Structure 1
């Protein structure tokens, strides 16, 4: 009996951290390159979004994009467009769509899809035979996407 109570307590603790309203990449509803519905049940946090965008091990958006309001962030890129004023150019739904999979908005872009798990070209099979055998995990989680979008919404002209 005690063993079952301990197991139930552990399960509740583990499950408490789950985001139940998260939308899986395959279940996203697209509307002309935009995603109106948030992907997570928690609102995005702009400070977390800023960290994701500037951290190499996370989104590392600044590797390709310049954000002029962040002069303290070194090695910003110029491959993609500057993100200053992004919220003045795009709606929240459009920004979410661009971050999730920019190819749905900008055909031929080099920006990687940040919340995609399938549909990748796997040239590794032809060259090394070591391409991932199944769907890949997304680069960012649903909550991280919402955090990035929340930060982008602060970048107004």
Structure 2
């Protein structure tokens, strides 16, 4: 059993309550962190927010965004490549899949190195935000 978080916006993630439990099975987290599906519209907005860092490294089907990253795979077709549970694990703790990844663990607070003072002991994203982003990424199909 691993642990997870609570809150509503990126600003509120810094004052998150306690982390919510989750279970990693194989290469995924099958169960929603919140017990409910996320909001794909809000998830898209989070992906495009520079503070969530998604498009700093990833590109995708976002024609309105002129500056998209090229350090990581495109998010186009993410919903075709990975299941919802696989997407969730990639956001929660990508290092479980690739220990050398540069992708942050967005919903983990233990065992991390080089964490900024403002983020120590706090997840980058809340459980709700993770679920919203997962809901959006799942809509991106080839």
**TM-score tier after normalising by the smaller chain length:** 0.7 to 0.9
Is 1:64–1:76's contact at 8 Å kept on the other side of the alignment?
Answer: yes
Is 1:23–1:39's contact at 8 Å kept on the other side of the alignment?
Answer: no
Which consecutive unaligned segments of at least 5 residues does structure 2 have? 1-16
What is the CA deviation profile of residues 4-39 of structure 1, one whole-angstrom value per residue up to 9, with x for unaligned ones? xxxxxxxxxxxxxxxxxx9925x2210123100100
The answer to whether residue 134 in structure 2 is matched with residue 149 in structure 1 is: yes
**Which runs of at least 4 in structure 1 moved beyond 4 Å after TM superposition?**
none
Partner of 1:56: 50
Is the radius of gyration larger for structure 1 or structure 2? 1
The change in CA–CA distance for 1:23 and 1:105 in structure 2 (over 3 A counts) is: farther
Query: What are the residue-to-residue correspondences of 1:135-146 with 2, within 5 Å?
Result: 135-146=120-131
Is 1:23–1:40's contact at 8 Å kept on the other side of the alignment?
Answer: no
The answer to whether residue 34 in structure 2 is matched with residue 44 in structure 1 is: no
The answer to whether residue 116 in structure 2 is matched with residue 121 in structure 1 is: no
Distance in 1, Cα, partners of 2:18 & 2:132: 15
Q: What is the aligned counterpart of 2:70 among 78, 81, 96?
A: 78
Which consecutive unaligned segments of at least 5 residues does structure 1 have? 1-21, 125-130
Q: What is the TM-score normalised by the length of structure 2?
A: 0.80
Distance in 2, Cα, partners of 1:143 & 1:155: 19
Distance in 2, Cα, partners of 1:83 & 1:97: 15
Q: Secondary structure of 2:58's partner? A: coil
With CA pairs under 8 Å and 6+ residues apart, which has the higher RCO, 1 or 2? 2
How many residues in Structure 1 have an aligned counterpart in Structure 2? Answer: 125
What's the RMSD between the two structures over aligned residues? Answer: 2.2
The change in CA–CA distance for 1:105 and 1:56 in structure 2 (over 3 A counts) is: same
